Amino acid sequence: MLETIKVHADNFSGQSVTSEPRLIPQIGLLYASYSSQSLADRVSAETAFMDQSKKRRPDRGRRAKRQQTNGQRKFSTNPRQDDGTSRNDTPAVVQGDHEMADAPSREPVPVGASRFDDLTVVHRRLVQTITEDCGFEFMTPVQAATIHELLPPNQSDCLVQAKTGTGKTLGFLLPALQTLITRGPTGGANDPDPAISLLVISPTRELAMQTAKEATTVLGRFPQYKVRIAIGGTNKNTEERAILSGCHVLVATPGRLLDHMDNENIMYMFRNLNTLVLDEADRLLDMGFTKALKDIVGKLPDKKEVPRQGMLFSATIANHVYQAASLVLNPGYKFISTIPAGELNTHERVPQLLVKVDTFSNVAPAVVGCLNEEAKQEKDLKAIVFAPTAALAGFYGHVLSQLPGMPRVLTLHSRISQNKRTTITDEFRNARSSILVATDVIARGMDFPGVTTVLQVGLPSDKESYIHRLGRTARAGAEGRGIFIIAEAEAWFPRWTLKDITFVSHNADISSAEQVVNIATRMEDADKAKIYQAWLGYYKNHLKGLHWDNTELVAQGNQYARNGLGSPDTPGIAKSTIGKMGLRGTKGLVVVPDPPRVKHGRR
């Protein structure tokens, strides 16, 4: 078995530690310079470095116009002025997992900071795009640790452990786009081959769109190169036509990519693939895409015939990530950890409140109470409320939107069309104050600046999900707060699954219970039935922890429907659906006939 040696920058000795895979210690550029400092000083120094990486060069006309609000990054493709109005300006650029705002900084540059201007092996126009058009002079620590190893002459296959929001996207885009420009089959940038050179596989549509947007920006001085996306929720035929008309960079989600790979013409576009990137690899695997990734790699050209560079980025490293690395990367790949030993994770430094209510019917009122309390403490409340299912997200979003005094409420989940999801994420990203009710579709890879509070309502799928959701707040050195709202029956989860996380118990304010039930009562019966069914389906997966059987599950669900959804009668569920849920014959269910099947004739 190969030994993986993981050396953090705090004990960086200036020598490469090699094995298979190997760790590259360039991150010592930052952390070796203050390894003897206290933890608080080190966090402060890292934040200063991140701010300094956005240091502007002298103003260069209209391209130099950007914005900064209260010392924090304010990201917008249509910046808001102080009066709240919008002005047209040069679009902001995306760096890492968020749009880049170039905030000026007077703080000293940390020792050993790397400049983009020093990348002599990178095409000058790429460097100029980053330094002049985007206004970035210094690399972030993650970029400094990865770019040199991914560029010639090293051009290594790399497994990189990096958090979101650290500039990692540009860390893999810059080397891959340099390869695109210099290794084109037709000999260069002026007459590029229309085939795909870079394939980036992302776990979510939103992250794929952000990555494609950044790639387009970095290629701003190379308009002959085309960036395309392949994601669910959009018109497949339109995507296909765009890809076949010329595609040099393809950013895709696994399912839609496999759909396109059934087309021989699309497959021919991969004939000269130079670079394959798995972004948020741990999330890809956690979402069940292991088989899809194997199928995708199996369809790509044989690396012996068409050599390519592999890059795999992951926030966490576990056995299944190493297995994915062996699938994508060449033997002898290098492992770069950009997370220094002792660095506090979000869940270790952000205050977290635990709010328990006696029954599931009081969960929604507790959400309202917590948000009212937060609004009193925060001048500009910007909160994300995570719900376990799309139906529950829709319910909480509907309730909050009907209450007076709440900031604008947005709802985001997988059942919303892609175009609308994009509009919603853009609106929330640019909002000063808003509430976004969402499922795990935004739990990772998405950066929304200025989020003051993350509320998690009900059981997350696991500990990792809880931590990644919490990570939407307190980013880039900002402050934030987490609130975990559960029913008493769910108390086992923080007690055992989250036992190493420190919670502060907080009394639930359920004074809005009557208002919430009145709002729910006015909802359509069909909508309440969907919420009820989704509730049963979700908690069916947690019977062991809840110490319930199917009968108790249905009894609890029926009580929730009556007291929480204002449904006097138990909502009915189709016979076939009950069978699929594994609840056939369970006492308390109301079984309704399956709807008639619609017969489709041949066309």
State the pairing for strand pair 198-201/249-252.
parallel
pLDDT at 258: 97
For residues 221 and 178, what is the distance between their CA atoms, to the nearest angstrom? 13
188: helix, coil or strand?
A: coil
pLDDT tens digits for range 175-189: 999 999 997 544 444
Q: At what angle do helices 141-150 and 39-52 cross, to 10 degrees?
A: 60
pLDDT tens digits for range 338-370: 876 545 566 677 899 999 999 999 999 999 999
Q: Report which DSSP code applies to 531.
A: H
Q: Kindly state the tokens that stand for 32.
A: 């070796």
Q: Kindly state the tokens that stand for 236.
A: 């497949």
Select the more confidently predicted residue: 308 or 163: 308
pLDDT at 23: 42
Asked if residues 470 and 347 have their Cβ atoms less than 8 Å apart, the reply is yes
Q: Which of 76-80, 355-359, 376-380 has the lowest mean pLDDT?
A: 76-80
**Is the pLDDT assigned to residue 63 strictly greater than 70?**
no
- Provide the phi-psi class of 588: left if phi over 0, else alpha when psi is between -120 and 50, else beta: left
Single pTM value for the model: 0.56
Residues 6+ apart with CB under 8 A from 26: 144, 145, 146, 148, 149, 336
DSSP calls for 315-355? SS--HHHHHHHHHHSPTT-EEEE-S-TTPPPHHHHS-EEEE
**Is the pLDDT assigned to residue 575 strictly greater than 80?**
yes
For residues 338 and 26, what is the distance between their CA atoms, to the nearest angstrom? 9
Residues 207-214 have a mean pLDDT of 95
b (16+ CB within 10 A) / e for 305-319: eeebbbbbbbbebee
pLDDT at 477: 66
pLDDT at 101: 33
